[in-house]
């Protein structure tokens, strides 16, 4: 089940909200959210609910063992916890990748195991690691109740597409939280905004991107290659930020405050700034649990460079079991290091922005590509694809539809804070604030209706996180 489905929007969510608010106590509400979360996860792949429960109980046990005051014992426990969690992730996500790599490099013929990838395994594994590491660092107390750990790891709003919620950010909210009608309304509005991003913008961009990335490369020229790259660039942003908006909105409906995950990354003027704005929960997770433990920037320039490349290698690998993701991660890491050598702030702002978007756009081509070779050839077409024959131009004309052009325009505006700034300016006066609030809820209702109609018509609705 995904948020952008009629089953979730029209059946699952209304029932859960209704039952939640008729429940008389926080304990019953938490129990309801646990049951709802497990049902949500089991809807698509019931067998992997066993893996989810195993992760919950084993990490609960590790947390209790970390209550020991013996330093050596605590180190053994945390190493075991990290090993078990990463081991599970490796088996299900990276075993076939390793075997295929060995086969290619060593000319071997090992058979892959072809295990189905549990949806969201990277997200809930990192949350489980956050719990045990936070307890180890004494940044949080070990939970006495296994049900609190269960709610934290399995909570359905951020289970399959993030944001990654660190335990020390949410532990108190599990035990105590309040919510009023205004909070529910704000959460619902935020959810609808995210749903609209996904259904109305991302899905439209996906049609173009998916079509062009499957066209034989001989029929692709510089125009269609750039259209494909830009379409995917908008698809992944509005899909990912849309899911984050939906998760944050759902959290508000149940009294949880999740941290923001995106902050208009496409206005960035450096790769470093881009990563302060893009998938913020993942960036901060790697900073807190990998970069700083490796030594951060405290052990000299060379070690700092190595630490950053390790982080970006891990960032790429986290996204999927394919070397294209690793290349994407290292691509960003290399440019971030270059920015520290070259004083990029001396470059005019416009040129910095163009440079950053070129790096990001080319990187996303490799991210989207099925193979390393396809990614390289598509990038080649973006640079020197000067073929303008009938076949090539017919492809270009087929994707340049009015719907596509209108959606691109909306995406361009929506990826900047222009609308937000206008809203703030209009809301400076009390009367203006009320008008803007009324308009925002009215627009949200209209958008929800359009999204439901779109989903009802069976329009293209891909789920791009099956590899996460």
Crossing angle of the two packed helices 146-154 and 26-42, in degrees rounded to 10: 50
Residues with catalytic function: 319
Q: Tell whether 159 and 199 lie within a shared domain.
A: no
13 in any annotated domain: yes
Single out the residue in 129, 153, 177 at which a domain terminates. Answer: 177
Segment 14-28, tens digit of pLDDT: 999 999 999 999 999
**Residue with more model confidence, 422 or 274:** 274
Q: Tell whether 130 and 232 lie within a shared domain.
A: no
- 110 touches 103 (CB < 8 A): yes
**Residue with more model confidence, 462 or 367:** 367
Q: Tell whether 238 and 108 lie within a shared domain.
A: no
CA separation for the pair 66, 86 (Å, rounded): 18
**First-last CA distance in the chain:** 15
31, 36, 41, 43 alpha-carbon torsion, rounded to 10° = 140
Torsion sign across C-alpha atoms 276, 279, 282, 285: positive
Segment 174-194, tens digit of pLDDT: 999 888 888 899 999 999 999
SS3 335: helix
Which pLDDT band holds residue 466 (cuts at 50, 70, 90)?
low
For 30-39, 49-58, 74-83, 111-120, which range has the lowest pLDDT when averaged over its residues? 111-120
Tell me, what's the pLDDT at 250?
Answer: 96
Q: How many CB atoms are closer than 10 A to CB 256? A: 22
367 in any annotated domain: yes
Q: Tell whether 133 and 216 lie within a shared domain.
A: no
| Radius of gyration of the CA atoms of the chain, in A | 23
SS3 23: coil
Total structural domains in the chain?
Answer: 2
**Residue with more model confidence, 108 or 329:** 329
Q: Tell whether 157 and 198 lie within a shared domain.
A: no
- 289 touches 133 (CB < 8 A): yes
DSSP secondary structure letter of residue 117: P
DSSP secondary structure letter of residue 162: -
The answer to whether residue 292 scores a pLDDT higher than 90 is: yes
Q: Tell whether 273 and 413 lie within a shared domain.
A: yes
Which pLDDT band holds residue 416 (cuts at 50, 70, 90)?
very high
DSSP 199-258: IIIIHHHHHHHHHHTTS-GGG--HHHHHHHHHHHHHHHHHHHHHHHHHHHHHHHHTT--P
Which pLDDT band holds residue 468 (cuts at 50, 70, 90)?
low
Q: Which domain holds residue 139?
A: 6-177
The answer to whether residue 153 scores a pLDDT higher than 70 is: yes
CA separation for the pair 314, 373 (Å, rounded): 22
Segment 330-349, tens digit of pLDDT: 999 999 999 988 888 888 99
Model confidence, pTM: 0.93
Tell me, what's the pLDDT at 274?
Answer: 97
Residue 330 corresponds to which tokens in the numbers above?
């290292």
Which residues, in sequence order, are CB contacts of 249 under 8 Å at separation 6+? Answer: 186, 187, 188, 189, 190, 191, 192, 193, 194
CA separation for the pair 308, 287 (Å, rounded): 9
Segment 206-218, tens digit of pLDDT: 999 999 999 999 8
Single out the residue in 119, 147, 177 at which a domain terminates. Answer: 177
């Amino acid at each position: 089940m995904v948020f952008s489905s009629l089953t979730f929007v029209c059946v699952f969510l209304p029932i859960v909200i209704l039952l939640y608010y008729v429940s008389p106590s926080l304990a019953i509400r938490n129990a309801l959210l646990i049951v709802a979360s497990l049902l949500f996860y089991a809807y698509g792949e019931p067998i992997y609910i066993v893996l989810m429960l195993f992760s919950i109980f084993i990490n609960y046990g590790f947390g209790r063992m970390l209550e020991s005051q013996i330093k050596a014992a605590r180190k053994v426990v945390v190493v075991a916890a990290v090993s078990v969690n990463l081991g599970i992730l490796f088996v299900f996500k990276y075993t076939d990748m390793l075997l295929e790599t060995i086969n290619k490099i060593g000319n071997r013929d090992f058979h892959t195991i072809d295990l189905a990838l549990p949806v969201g395994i990277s997200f809930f594994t990192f949350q489980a690691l956050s719990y045990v590491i936070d307890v180890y660092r004494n940044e949080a107390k070990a939970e006495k109740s296994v049900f609190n750990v269960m709610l934290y790891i399995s909570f359905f709003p951020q289970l399959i597409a993030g944001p990654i919620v660190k335990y020390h950010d949410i532990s108190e909210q599990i035990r105590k939280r309040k919510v009023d009608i205004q909070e529910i309304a704000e959460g619902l509005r935020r959810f609808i905004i995210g749903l609209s991003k996904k259904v109305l913008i991302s899905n439209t961009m996906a049609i173009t991107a998916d079509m062009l990335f499957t066209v034989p490369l001989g029929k692709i020229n510089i125009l269609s290659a750039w259209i494909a790259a830009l379409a995917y660039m908008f698809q992944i942003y509005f899909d990912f930020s849309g899911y984050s908006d939906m998760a944050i909105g759902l959290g508000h409906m149940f009294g949880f405050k999740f941290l923001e995950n995106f902050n208009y990354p496409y206005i960035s003027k450096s790769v470093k700034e881009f990563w302060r704005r893009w998938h913020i929960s993942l960036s901060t997770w790697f900073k807190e649990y990998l970069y700083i433990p490796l030594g951060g920037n405290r052990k000299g320039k060379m070690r700092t460079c190595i630490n950053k490349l390790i982080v970006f290698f891990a960032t790429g690998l986290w996204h999927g079991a394919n070397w294209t993701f690793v290349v994407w991660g290292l691509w960003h890491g290399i440019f971030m290091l270059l920015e520290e050598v070259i004083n990029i702030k001396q470059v005019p702002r416009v040129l910095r922005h163009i440079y950053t978007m070129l790096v990001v756009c080319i990187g996303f081509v490799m991210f989207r590509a099925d193979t390393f070779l396809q990614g390289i050839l598509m990038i080649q077409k973006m640079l020197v694809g000067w073929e303008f024959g009938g076949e090539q131009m017919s492809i270009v004309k087929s994707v340049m539809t009015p719907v596509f052009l209108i959606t691109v325009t909306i995406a361009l505006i929506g990826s900047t804070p222009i609308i937000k700034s206008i809203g703030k300016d209009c809301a400076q006066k009390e009367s203006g604030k009320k008008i803007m609030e009324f308009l925002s809820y009215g627009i949200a209702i209209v958008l929800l209706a359009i999204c439901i109609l779109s989903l009802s018509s069976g329009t293209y609705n891909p789920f791009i996180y099956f590899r996460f």
